[in-house]
């Protein structure tokens, strides 16, 4: 099932023509209305007329999160404040918050993109969907809400914070779909089991995003809840959830590339990577009015592929995310991503995919301890049994990471759960 047949099955030539037209309009828009971009372009001797189409995109300067913070709060807005109808913002936990504004037209585009993504996940007007992303300044809740409303589904705006109430209503209301983070959905599966509700729910699909997760984690969620799970991608600076999503064939996340043009870059040289090569994802917004962004560096690592999908869509597809440039840990000279630990753990039946990586520096040497939860059915007081599990986990993780880590097996449910983005790393090293 395809929401927008005309756009989502458009030929590559037709899409390139549309993207080129919209890029030219966007460049003119930012040059004439955003001093930041006008100054950047003038510094390199670039005028709007030099951009004829998508083939000229590499002439344009990049934008980073620091640029948004440096222009806090409204310095990159391209329309009058009287035309801004909504504000979202990041939490600002790693610095100043990044503030995003939306025009009415922007909100229409956003709900259209989310509707496409939810349709990929099989959601229709006949579904009852619980939105368990955070509402408020975070883009997840309202973004998913508006997209589901556009489809015509019955929306239950649960947000997060009361998991027992959510699972009770899931059973009582007969919810057939849920939108939340994958780590929270795993937690909900535990709550459902504890409350004896697994046999009472009618859930058939989940649209999960806001954090990296592996294919094996998706399969684990599907098995635990007997549902189909889909990966949705977005970021507040570019729009919010709905920038891309995977279909039932899970062969990459289809980008709404008539609105967001993707590039895959070598993070060191900022040159284009070839199709299938891992690199940093950058987006240029093609239709945003309030906060258009040119070549925004997301710091997310992924691949891109083209060609018609088995579902019939012809849009560019992003590979499953490998992590983030700024989430990458360098431990004893080795680049490590938390997703590598998750992928390794899902192969070990004795433990759950809940873990915590604790990095420290002792006598100028990096140390890594990974705490891993034991599955309830393997809980035992037998030292030999626990030693065998520890040895097994140590082997698969060290093999996955390429370095030795200290593994600590902990009791079930002892690692703190998150109702938002999961926290998997505590880095105690001092780099001052």
**pLDDT tens digits for range 160-174:** 888 999 999 999 999
Region 336-344 average pLDDT: 87
Q: Is the pLDDT of residue 383 over 70?
A: yes
- 14 conformational bin, left if phi > 0, alpha if psi -120 to 50, beta if neither: alpha
User: Residues 231-275: pLDDT tens digits?
Assistant: 999 999 999 999 999 999 999 999 999 999 999 999 889 999 999
Listed residue (254, 318, 315) closest to 11, CA to CA? 315
Do both 306 and 352 map to the same domain?
Answer: no
The per-residue pLDDT of the chain, averaged, comes to 93
Listed residue (319, 282, 275) closest to 299, CA to CA? 282
Do both 37 and 168 map to the same domain?
Answer: yes
Do both 293 and 349 map to the same domain?
Answer: no
Do both 319 and 416 map to the same domain?
Answer: no
- The residue with tokens 């809400």 is 145
Query: Strand (E) positions, 325-380?
Result: 329-331, 334-336, 351-362, 365-374
CA-to-CA distance for 358 and 408, rounded, in angstroms? 11
Do both 273 and 395 map to the same domain?
Answer: no
Do both 397 and 285 map to the same domain?
Answer: no
Region 381-405 average pLDDT: 91
With cut-offs at 50, 70 and 90, classify the pLDDT of residue 365: confident
Q: How high is the pLDDT of residue 129? A: 98
Boundary-marking domain end, from 308, 326, 344 = 326
Q: How high is the pLDDT of residue 432? A: 39
The dihedral over CA atoms of 400, 406, 411, 415, expressed in degrees to the nearest 10, equals -70
Region 33-55 average pLDDT: 98
Do both 279 and 155 map to the same domain?
Answer: yes
| Structure token digits, residue 63 | 């934008």
- Are 352 and 344 a contacting pair, CB within 8 Å? no
Boundary-marking domain end, from 326, 352, 380 = 326
With cut-offs at 50, 70 and 90, classify the pLDDT of residue 94: very low
CATH code where residue 394 lies: 3.30.300.30
Lowest pLDDT segment from 124-133, 142-151, 330-339: 330-339
**How many domains in the chain?**
2
- Are 123 and 177 a contacting pair, CB within 8 Å? yes
Do both 340 and 378 map to the same domain?
Answer: yes
CB count within 10 Å of CB 311 equals 17
Do both 368 and 304 map to the same domain?
Answer: no
Do both 313 and 361 map to the same domain?
Answer: no
Per DSSP, 174 falls in state T
Lowest pLDDT segment from 167-171, 276-280, 425-429: 425-429
Region 60-76 average pLDDT: 96
Do both 105 and 154 map to the same domain?
Answer: yes
Boundary-marking domain end, from 326, 349, 379 = 326
Q: How high is the pLDDT of residue 418? A: 72
Listed residue (18, 36, 4, 19) closest to 114, CA to CA? 4
Q: Is the pLDDT of residue 406 over 90?
A: yes
Q: How high is the pLDDT of residue 36? A: 98
Break the chain down into helix, strand, coil percent, rounded to 5.
35, 25, 40
Within-domain flag for 207: yes
User: Residues 190-242: pLDDT tens digits?
Assistant: 999 999 999 999 999 999 998 878 888 899 899 999 999 999 999 999 999 99
Do both 319 and 332 map to the same domain?
Answer: no
Within-domain flag for 432: no
With cut-offs at 50, 70 and 90, classify the pLDDT of residue 183: confident
Enclosing domain of residue 245: 1-326
Q: Is the pLDDT of residue 95 over 60?
A: no
């Amino acid at each position: 099932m395809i929401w927008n047949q005309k756009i989502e099955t458009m030929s590559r030539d037709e899409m390139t023509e549309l993207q080129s037209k919209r890029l030219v309009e966007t460049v003119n828009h930012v040059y004439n209305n955003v001093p930041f971009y006008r100054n950047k372009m003038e510094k390199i001797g670039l005028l709007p007329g030099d951009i004829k189409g998508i083939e000229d995109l590499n002439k344009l300067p990049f934008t980073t999160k620091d640029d948004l913070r440096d222009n806090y709060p409204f310095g990159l807005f391209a329309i009058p404040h009287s035309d801004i109808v909504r504000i979202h913002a990041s939490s600002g936990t790693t610095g100043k918050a990044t503030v995003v504004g939306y025009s009415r037209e922007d909100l229409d585009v956003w709900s259209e993109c989310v509707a496409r993504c939810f349709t990929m996940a099989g959601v229709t007007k006949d579904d009852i969907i619980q939105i368990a992303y955070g509402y408020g300044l975070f883009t997840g809740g309202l973004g998913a809400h508006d997209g589901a409303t556009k489809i015509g589904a019955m929306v239950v705006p649960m947000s997060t914070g009361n998991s027992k109430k959510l699972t009770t209503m899931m059973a009582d209301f007969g919810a057939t779909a849920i939108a939340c983070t994958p780590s929270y959905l795993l937690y909900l599966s535990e709550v459902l089991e504890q409350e004896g509700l697994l046999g009472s729910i009618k859930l058939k699909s989940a649209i999960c995003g806001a954090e990296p997760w592996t294919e094996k984690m998706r399969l684990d969620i599907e098995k635990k809840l007997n549902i189909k799970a889909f990966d949705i991608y977005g970021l507040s600076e570019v729009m919010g959830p709905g920038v891309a999503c995977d279909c039932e064939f899970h062969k990459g996340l289809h980008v709404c590339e008539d609105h967001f043009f993707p590039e895959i870059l070598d993070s060191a040289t900022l040159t284009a990577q070839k199709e299938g090569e891992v690199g940093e994802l950058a987006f240029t917004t093609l239709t945003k009015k309030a906060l258009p962004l040119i070549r925004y560096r997301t710091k997310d690592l992924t691949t891109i592929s083209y060609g018609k999908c088995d579902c019939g869509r012809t849009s560019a597809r992003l590979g499953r995310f490998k992590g983030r440039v700024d989430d990458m840990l360098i431990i004893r000279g080795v680049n490590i991503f938390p997703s590598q630990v998750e992928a390794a753990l899902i192969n070990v039946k004795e433990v759950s995919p809940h873990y915590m990586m604790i990095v420290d520096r002792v006598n100028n040497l990096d140390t890594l301890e990974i705490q891993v939860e034991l599955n309830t059915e393997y809980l035992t007081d037998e030292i030999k049994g626990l030693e065998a599990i520890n040895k097994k986990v140590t082997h698969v993780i060290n093999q996955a990471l390429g370095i030795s880590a200290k593994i600590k097996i902990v009791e079930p449910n002892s690692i703190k759960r998150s109702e938002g983005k999961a926290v998997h790393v505590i880095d105690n090293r001092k780099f001052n």
